[in-house]
């Protein structure tokens, strides 16, 4: 895709990208597709998928207690448990605010490990990575399910295809995960300020009508995904019938705020959306 050539002008040393159609084929790619990059918070998308698989397998339930008093697995996935960003400290009642929380995902990982008697990185490997052929992806050692994943564009293309045509999860479960959970809840979208509402699904941020936002002006409200502080993002736009993954080696900052939305809009235009 010609639109991906915009990345050549980005202020980054290394970058790779892929656009994946709803049928799993690639519309285009850029850069070294086998280079491993830190995913940062894009890790949450894969971790959430593993949690949803645990639900379908009956290992856990969305509405069972997990986290602070009154919180459930559903609250942890939807960033409404009340836990602080990077501390295991309660800042609000469950369901009251959308407090984006790495700590919440770490509690979730610990909860799944305790219930299944499998360390979460290994559970992730068995449940998601191995079945999808994501051999270059890992949550190394005791890495955080919130932010410590490492992967390649080739592997993330496989995951982007799974998010559009699920084989491991039921379509119903994925639809629920990418629909608004606890609607009307406000909160801060890291890097983009307070959003009213700050819509989120079960681990998946939902575009809706947020402004400003890291996706494009042409992105449909149904677009879902995540971006990471390592200069990474993955979005799926069901209306466009496509997904895009970008991995870089420069930390998120004003440069990303400036260049990410135009790239997304150029991709969507090239796709005829």
Asked if residue 141 has pLDDT above 80, the reply is no
> Would you put residue 229 in left (φ > 0), alpha (ψ -120 to 50) or beta?
alpha
Lowest mean pLDDT among 40-44, 137-141, 201-205: 137-141
CATH code where residue 226 lies: 3.40.710.10
CA distance linking residue 113 with residue 98, whole number of Å: 25
Which residue range forms the structural domain that includes residue 143?
2-270
- Give the count of alpha carbons within 13 A of 168, CB side only: 25
DSSP letter at 206 equals: E
Question: 136: burial class by Cβ within 10 Å (0-12, 13-18, 19+)?
Answer: middle
68 near 44, Cβ under 8 Å? Answer: no
74 near 16, Cβ under 8 Å? Answer: no
Predicted confidence band of residue 164 (pLDDT cuts 50, 70, 90): very high
Please count the structural domains in the chain.
1
Predicted confidence band of residue 142 (pLDDT cuts 50, 70, 90): confident
Q: Which long-range contacts (CB under 8 A, 24 or more apart) does 92-96 make?
A: 94/67, 94/68, 94/70, 95/182, 95/185, 96/185
pTM over 0.95: yes
In 3D space, the residue among 155, 154, 61, 151 whose CA is nearest the CA of residue 108 turns out to be 61
pLDDT tens-digit map of 17-73: 999 999 999 999 999 999 999 999 999 999 999 999 999 999 999 999 999 999 999
């Amino acid at each position: 895709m010609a639109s991906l050539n915009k990345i050549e002008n980005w202020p980054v040393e290394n970058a790779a990208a892929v656009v994946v159609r709803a049928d799993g084929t690639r519309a285009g790619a850029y850069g070294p597709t086998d280079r491993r990059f830190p995913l940062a918070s894009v890790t949450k998308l894969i971790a959430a998928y593993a949690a949803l698989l645990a639900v379908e397998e009956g290992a856990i339930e969305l509405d069972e207690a997990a986290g602070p008093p009154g919180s459930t697995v559903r609250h942890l996935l939807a960033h409404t448990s009340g836990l602080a960003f990077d501390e295991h400290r309660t800042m609000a009642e469950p369901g009251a605010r959308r407090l984006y929380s790495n700590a919440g995902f770490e509690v979730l990982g610990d909860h799944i490990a305790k219930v299944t008697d499998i360390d979460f990185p290994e559970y992730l490997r068995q449940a998601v990575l191995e079945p999808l052929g994501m051999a270059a992806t890992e949550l190394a050692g005791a890495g955080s399910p919130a932010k410590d994943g490492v992967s390649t564009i080739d592997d993330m293309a496989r995951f982007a295809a799974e998010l559009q045509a699920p084989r491991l999860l039921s379509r119903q479960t994925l639809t629920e995960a990418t629909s608004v959970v606890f609607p009307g809840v406000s909160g801060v979208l890291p890097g983009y300020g307070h959003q009213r509402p700050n819509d989120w699904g079960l681990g998946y941020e939902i575009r809706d009508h947020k402004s400003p936002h890291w996706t494009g002006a042409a992105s449909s409200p149904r677009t879902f995904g995540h971006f990471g502080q390592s200069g990474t993002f993955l979005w799926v736009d069901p209306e466009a019938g496509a997904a895009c993954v970008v991995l870089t080696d420069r930390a998120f900052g004003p440069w990303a705020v400036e260049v990410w939305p135009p790239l997304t809009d150029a991709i969507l235009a090239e796709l005829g959306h």
